């Protein structure tokens, strides 16, 4: 459950012990407490690990690193002495850092806190800035929270994530990306540094091969040190698509031999393709069918839900908090035997993620295209579509530094990593670090740099990513995919036509797609069945009924997300404010 707590409360150890008791599913995790400039700093290791692995002292100075981290090509703990020696708060620019992490450096009487270059690992604080953590729940536990944040609740149910500096709880906020937090006896300062993500256009790269070769070289900065440090212990999440295939190509290129795992049953296309590739490449494969996970006794469901609550830091991206423990156990099992998992989230930096045409656009068009998965009939009159869209647009502008809502096409591409990537994929990456160190190579600033200005004709239809795979390993590129074609091969006319029609569909039409395709009421089964859910929340939804008309919610996923918010509200006695 890798996180830190920094609090002016001298009773931090007692409060932190309460967190430990509530999260006993993390057997063997360790904690360390340090006095820092009149405050108390608590460091909590992941599900498996020792405090000695992430903390290094030199006299009164120290450095602590939580999450996945490589510095100058070296892993934790070997990199920590050099990181402490090199750290200069005036010149810090994320050079040499890889991973999803929080780094705390105490030098010359000052504590400095930074996260990864994308800002996927968020730093949370309370309203008066007396508590700091990379755990949302830790701040909720150590402060007196009283109300939900309605805009954030709507964002979560609509999109499966919360965007900008808000959280589901009013008064608990996160810092902007690339913030440097500095604390001494006199003050608390937050300075936002320039992003290490470069955004250059290379006019001389005019062919698909040239662009592919350039970005293959960029990826070498990420995959070479990962493969070198963990050649036989990498565990790769695999599917039949582009992202995991490109990761595998890079790992094999640098001599690593990962273990692959794939989700599904024997009839699934992803499983069939994974078996074919692993057999041909002599790679070990594990097939994980979560549907085979047995249910728990209804009397044990409350305990399972509390474990999920703390394991996933209050809420999960896109999916409800409630299950029978399958997701939590699966994420823990990824680290058995010292394995280091890799995930291909954000791989669509090399593709046209939003499926929008190549012309100038706007934040409003992006909201209509991708962030309008709702039916207003499921909301109470507390919901204002104008306010929702305005807040989403503002968060987009802040994410990419745009001066207006009018966007050129490359700014739309910037939104994928800096907006969707940071707040959706990044939240999942941050949560995964609670179970153990895990790498998300496409979230690295070295991978993201300069992808927003790739000509869209190369991104469309996956041409660029397929060519990158082919330039690294033509054999891997020629295996079947779940798209129905070899990834570096020709695109069938039917696929090209379908993609073209989807891309050209006007955003004013796409805005209504969700409400037109979700007219049928989906059954609430499994952990969302009343017999189970009634054990952990009031099925009258006394808090969430102020925001949602539950009888009009057709999507079972959105119902589960509303139930997640109800659980959060009932646990901390939160209400919906009148304003």
d(CA 87, CA 385): 46
**Cα–chain-centroid distance for residue 311?**
15
Tell me what pLDDT residue 30 has.
63
CA distances from 189 to 172, 302, 541 (A): 17, 41, 40
- Predicted local distance difference test score (pLDDT) of residue 290: 86
pTM: 0.95
pLDDT at position 17: 58
Closest CA relative to residue 264, chosen from 275, 250, 252, 255: 275
- Phi and psi angles of residue 269, each rounded to the nearest 5 degrees, phi first: -65, -40
Domains of the chain: residue spans and CATH: 3-145+174-192 (3.60.20.10), 220-354+413-510 (3.40.50.620), 519-572 (no CATH)
Whether 61 contacts 37, CB under 8 Å: no
Per-residue pLDDT of the chain (579 residues; tens, 9 = 90+): 589 999 986 556 556 555 554 444 344 456 788 889 888 898 888 765 554 578 888 899 999 999 999 999 999 999 999 999 999 999 999 999 999 999 999 999 999 999 999 999 999 999 999 999 999 999 999 999 999 999 999 999 999 999 999 999 999 999 999 999 999 988 899 999 999 999 998 889 999 999 999 999 999 999 999 999 999 999 999 999 999 999 999 999 999 999 999 999 999 999 999 999 999 999 999 999 988 888 999 999 999 999 999 999 999 999 999 999 999 999 999 999 999 999 999 999 999 999 999 999 999 999 999 999 999 999 999 999 999 999 999 999 999 999 999 999 999 999 999 999 999 999 999 999 999 999 999 999 999 999 999 999 999 999 999 999 999 999 999 999 999 999 999 999 999 999 999 999 999 999 999 999 999 999 999 999 999 999 999 999 999 999 999 999 999 999 999 999 999 999 999 999 998
Q: For residue 442, what are the contacts with CB-CB under 8 A and spacing of at least 6?
A: 243, 344, 345, 346, 347, 349, 448
Question: What pLDDT shows up at residue 31?
Answer: 77
DSSP letters of 423-439? Answer: IIIHHHHHHHTTTS--B
Phi, psi of 121 (to 5 degrees): -85, 100
Backbone conformation region of residue 84, classed left if phi is above 0, alpha if psi is from -120 to 50, else beta: alpha
């Amino acid at each position: 459950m890798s996180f830190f707590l920094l609090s002016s409360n001298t009773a931090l150890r007692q409060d932190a012990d309460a967190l430990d008791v509530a999260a006993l599913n993390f057997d063997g995790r360790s904690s360390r407490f340090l006095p820092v400039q009149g405050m108390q700093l608590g460091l909590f290791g992941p599900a498996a690990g020792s405090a000695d692995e992430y903390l290094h002292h030199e006299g009164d100075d120290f450095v602590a690193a939580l999450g996945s981290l490589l510095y100058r090509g070296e892993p934790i703990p070997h990199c920590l002495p050099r990181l402490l020696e090199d750290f200069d708060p005036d010149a810090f620019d994320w050079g040499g850092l890889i991973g999803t992490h929080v780094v705390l450096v105490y030098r010359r009487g000052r504590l400095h806190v930074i996260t990864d270059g994308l800002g996927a690992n968020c730093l949370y604080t309370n309203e008066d800035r007396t508590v700091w953590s990379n755990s949302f729940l830790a701040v909720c536990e150590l402060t007196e929270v009283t109300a939900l944040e309605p805009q954030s609740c709507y964002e979560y149910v609509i999109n499966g994530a919360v965007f900008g500096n808000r959280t589901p709880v009013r008064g608990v906020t996160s810092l902007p990306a690339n913030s440097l937090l500095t604390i001494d006896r006199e003050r608390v300062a937050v300075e936002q540094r320039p992003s290490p993500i470069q955004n250059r256009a290379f006019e001389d790269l005019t062919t698909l091969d040239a662009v592919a070769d350039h970005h293959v070289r960029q990826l070498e900065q990420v995959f070479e040190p990962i493969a070198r440090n963990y050649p036989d212990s990498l565990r790769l999440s695999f599917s039949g698509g582009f992202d995991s295939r490109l990761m595998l190509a890079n790992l094999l290129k640098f001599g690593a031999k990962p273990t692959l795992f794939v989700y599904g049953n024997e009839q699934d296309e992803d499983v069939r393709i994974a078996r074919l590739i692993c057999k041909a490449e002599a790679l070990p494969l594990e097939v994980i069918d979560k549907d085979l996970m047995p249910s728990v006794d209804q009397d044990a469901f409350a305990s399972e839900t509390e474990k999920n609550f703390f394991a996933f830091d209050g809420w999960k991206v896109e999916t409800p908090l409630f299950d029978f423990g399958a997701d939590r156990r699966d994420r823990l099992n990824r680290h058995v035997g010292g394995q280091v998992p890799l995930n291909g989230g954000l791989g669509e930096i090399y593709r046209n993620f939003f499926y929008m045409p190549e012309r100038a656009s706007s934040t409003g068009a992006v909201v209509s295209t991708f962030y309008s998965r709702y039916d207003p009939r499921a909301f109470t009159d507390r919901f204002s579509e104008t306010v929702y869209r305005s807040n989403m647009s503002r968060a987009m502008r802040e994410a990419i530094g745009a001066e207006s809502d009018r966007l050129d096409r490359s700014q739309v591409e910037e939104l994928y990593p800096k907006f969707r990537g940071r707040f959706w994929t990044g939240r999942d990456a941050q949560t995964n670090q609670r179970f153990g160190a895990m790498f998300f190579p496409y979230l690295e600033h070295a991978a993201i740099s300069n992808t927003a200005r790739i000509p869209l004709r190369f991104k469309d239809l996956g041409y660029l990513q397929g060519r990158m795979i082919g330039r690294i390993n033509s054999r891997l590129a020629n295996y079947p995919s779940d798209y129905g074609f070899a990834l570096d091969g020709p695109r069938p006319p039917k696929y090209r036509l379908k993609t073209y029609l989807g891309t050209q569909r006007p955003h004013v039409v796409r805005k209504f797609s969700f409400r037109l395709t979700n007219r049928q009421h989906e059954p609430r089964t499994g952990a969302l069945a009343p017999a189970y859910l009634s054990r952990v929340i009031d099925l009258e939804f006394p808090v969430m009924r102020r925001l949602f008309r539950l009888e009009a919610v057709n999507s079972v996923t959105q119902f589960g997300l509303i139930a997640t918010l109800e659980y959060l509200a009932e646990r901390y006695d939160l209400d919906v404010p009148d304003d």
